[in-house]
Amino acid sequence: MFIGSEALGRIERRGPTRYRFNYSEEALRKYRPSSIVLSASLRLRSEDFTPSESAPFFEGLLPEGAIRSAISQALRLNERDGFGLLAALGSECAGAVAVLREGVMPRAPGSSRIRSLSEDELGRLIDDLPTHPLGVTGSPEGARLSLGGVQQKLVLARDESGRLGLPLDGTPSTHLLKPEPHAYEDLAVNEAFCMRVAATAGMEAASAEVAEVGSRRCLLVERFDRRQDDRGFVVRLHQEDMCQALGLLPTAKYEQSGGPSVARVIDLLRGLGSAHAALGIRNFVRALVVNFLLGNSDAHGKNFALLYDPDAEVGLAPLYDVVSTAVYPQLTSQMAMSLGGVDDPDRVDLATWARLADEAGIGRVIGGVVRRQAGAILRATDRVAKEARAEGWHRPVIDAIVDVCRRRVDQLTD
């Protein structure tokens, strides 16, 4: 198992979803004991990690639900065989992790292999996503990569000409293309709007835009865990979601299912040992405000992450997967993480945020942070709605999100 080109350790099979991870001798010599190298839940030590300790991180690299099932069928594997799926798909995961068979080395930066796609080919891959999620097929030429989550997406890379293509043989992907599902009208516009609002309000957020591929509207997202080095080569940045960092399986991503709470995430950020821990906590609170005001009740433990930038200290990753679920009546309004003991967004007021501050031990200045953030988000919704009209991607869902935001700002000022 590698991070970038560094051999970090080995995963041994102890059953279909039972992994035993151990760090390499090189890693043990290079880093201090208890360092966070792979995961905050797998701090550096010489002893092997038990299957129950190892599983949350490695299961968290794999897709979930129907996507995992479809990929397993394409590869003729049992969907419970997480080890087999990682062996087949692990050359391109979230972050900088590469899980490779013994004796296989990661592809060197700059030696990319991308199969360019015409718009017709891209359209056919989108149509095939229900049976070949992420672009994974049983063919040797098919994409071999793993990415967590339950939403259909195509994992792509830009070639030297700027065209989108399929990354092959462990080539780093750079973009995700998410076709709009028929069940949720204008979902791509919804997410593009929410992500731009967050960025306009001063938050670090993944870049996302609406793209038309044939007759399908899609969301094109630039990966925040990739960047170009000074030679122009795409390199991977290590990341892990909050479930992985807290040692929780993906099935426990919702607080009501035993998943991360706001207080647990803040404790994790506080315990990273970073000089910028206070900034990370502040940005997390601002992210909570963004999700609340825009009506995203699905901000669960896998939708927040840590980013391990080699040029900076570990910190909160840019926002991603921010979608207003409130505009879809068929979706639950129960928030994935409660705020001050409240999981009904209609009952959230400034007193709720004050209770949250007490529970998480973050002081009483939160009221000012929430009010300032609320004003910034409300102004950003109006500005981005105008931009969407001028750029030609405005849809009625945007007006619905703006209405949600105004109502929730009012809750905080009554």
Assign residue 170 a region (left: φ > 0; alpha: ψ between -120 and 50; beta: otherwise).
left
Q: What SS3 class is residue 10? A: strand
Which helix or strand (DSSP H or E) is residue 366 part of?
Answer: helix 366-391
Give CA–CA dist 75/39, Å, rounded: 28
Query: Which tokens in the block code for residue 389?
Result: 């009209």
249, 255 Cβ separation under 8 angstroms? no
Q: What are phi and psi for residue 26, nearest 5 degrees? A: -65, -45
Q: C-alpha angle 281/283/284, rounded to 5°?
A: 65
Q: What SS3 state is found at 103?
A: coil
Contacts of 9 (CB under 8 A, 6+ apart): 1, 21, 22, 23, 24, 27, 38
Dihedral of the alpha carbons of 117, 123, 126, 128, in degrees to the nearest 10: -100
* Residue 48 appears among annotated catalytic residues: no
Q: Active site residue: 159, 298, 321, 343, which one?
A: 298
| Listed residue (175, 207, 174) closest to 192, CA to CA | 207
Helices 366-391 and 187-200: angle between axes, nearest 10 degrees: 130
For 234, the 3-state DSSP assignment is strand
> How many residues in the chain?
414
Distances (CA, A) of 76 to 71, 135, 242, 397: 8, 15, 31, 40
Look at residues 296, 324, 293 and name the one whose alpha carbon lies nearest to residue 190: 324
Instruction: Report strand pairing: 114-116 vs 164-167.
Output: antiparallel
What is the rounded CA–CA span in Å between residue 68 and residue 61? 11
User: So which residues are the catalytic ones?
Assistant: 298
